[in-house]
Amino acid sequence: MIDYMVEFDEDTRAIVDLTARLVREHQMPLEAKKLQGGEITVQDLRAGTRAAKEVGLWGLSLPEEVGGARLTVVQQLAVTEENFKCLVPLRIGGRVPPFLLGAVGVQKERYLDPCLHDRLQYAFAQTEPSGGADPGNAIQTRAVQRGDRWVLNGTKVFISNVGPAEVVFVVAVTDPEKRQRGGISMFAVDKSNPGMKISRDIPVLDGSVINELVFDDCEVPADALIGGSGEGFRNAQIILSQARFSVGARALGIAMRTLEMMAGYARQREAFGSPLSHKQAVQAMVVDSWVDINQCRLMMYAAARKADAGHDTRVEASLIKMQATEVVGRVLDRGVQIFGAAGVSLDNPIAHWWRSQRPARIYEGPTEVHKYHVLARHLFR
């Protein structure tokens, strides 16, 4: 067992231990099944989901009054790290986008409550063929009000979770003059809407499929406007900021498990008359990985504590997302190198992660955008 430099308080440690137990009991057998070439079905995942809900790991960020666990940001990230040390993580329900938490009336009944109770899957559509890194200027999809309805026209691309989704939350320009300063709104479009077509399936590196969506005179009722008119860009940025912390925690959980596997294998595997752990090159790869992980985790949990204190952490979220996805890439590459042929075999989780984590440096904002736009702008403002 490798020691890390971040220490948790007693409550957080108990939550992490609980997560580890559920993962060990319910998910590690599924990891073994996947590594043996088996397909993981929805039925396979239900036992772990049910167990998580029974112990209160449900709606991690949501307030207790709506059935959530109301974990601190530190606790949410610690649970995510522990969960994603497994190739087949727990599916923890109660996933509600923050812009729905204030929903009332029809929107509460149609979207909030079903999401909260895991009866509704959704997709979030912002990226377009014109670009995704600068959405405020790149979004071309338009929404025009006609009487008591809105009409959407445009194309979204590289959208995830469209397959199981029943509703798509779409970001569109409603005032071209204002754009991200009050001229971008968000709309809920039911997947059954005839004005929205899935025009293309796009297989990606990690084995999943993302989609292109076309909106052709897609009519939605007035109550499909989420939040107020012009609030779509702000609401989208809140989603992305939260997602960036989560992406960072996932990446670091994977990096931690990879490091532990690397160190264990290096102790056992011999080459040229001695264990790999005695070779300077292998020692350097393991130590460098440990340093990378610790540096990033210290930053992430410092930012999480700041968020728990009520501070704006959008810049920190960019930094963590950028650093953690770069770190996991380096650690996985070293893991493949140490394991050799076994590292590129798909009966090793490292090979699966190496393939699935490369896209993480792109989605939720490429590394270069975070570094030279968000962080540089913050430093030189």
- b/e map of 134-165 (b: 16 or more CB within 10 Å)? ebeeebbbebeeeeeebbbbbbbbbbbebeeb
Q: For residues 15 and 57, what is the distance between their CA atoms, to the nearest angstrom? A: 9
Which alpha helices (DSSP H) does the chain contain, by range? 10-22, 28-35, 42-54, 73-83, 105-107, 113-116, 135-138, 232-268, 280-308, 314-339, 349-357, 367-369, 376-380
Q: DSSP letters of 43-71?
A: HHHHHHHHHHHHTT-SSTTS-GGGT----
By CB neighbour count within 10 A (0-12 exposed, 13-18 middle, 19+ buried), where does 54 fall? exposed
User: Of 324, 311, 156, which is closest to residue 247 (Cα–Cα)?
Assistant: 324
- b/e map of 197-234 (b: 16 or more CB within 10 Å)? eeeeeeebeeeeebbbbbbeebebeeebbbbebbbbbb
- 364 noted as active-site residue: yes
- CA angle, corner 196, sides to 193 and 200, nearest 5? 135
Q: For residues 141 and 153, what is the distance between their CA atoms, to the nearest angstrom? A: 6
3-state secondary structure of 86: coil
Residue with tokens 């009866």: 119
Q: Amino acid identity, residue 243? A: A
User: Of 145, 134, 130, 136, which is closest to residue 212 (Cα–Cα)?
Assistant: 130
Q: For residues 141 and 195, what is the distance between their CA atoms, to the nearest angstrom? A: 13
Catalytic residue among 31, 81, 128, 364: 364
Residue with tokens 């971008």: 184
Residues annotated as catalytic (active site), given as ranges: 364
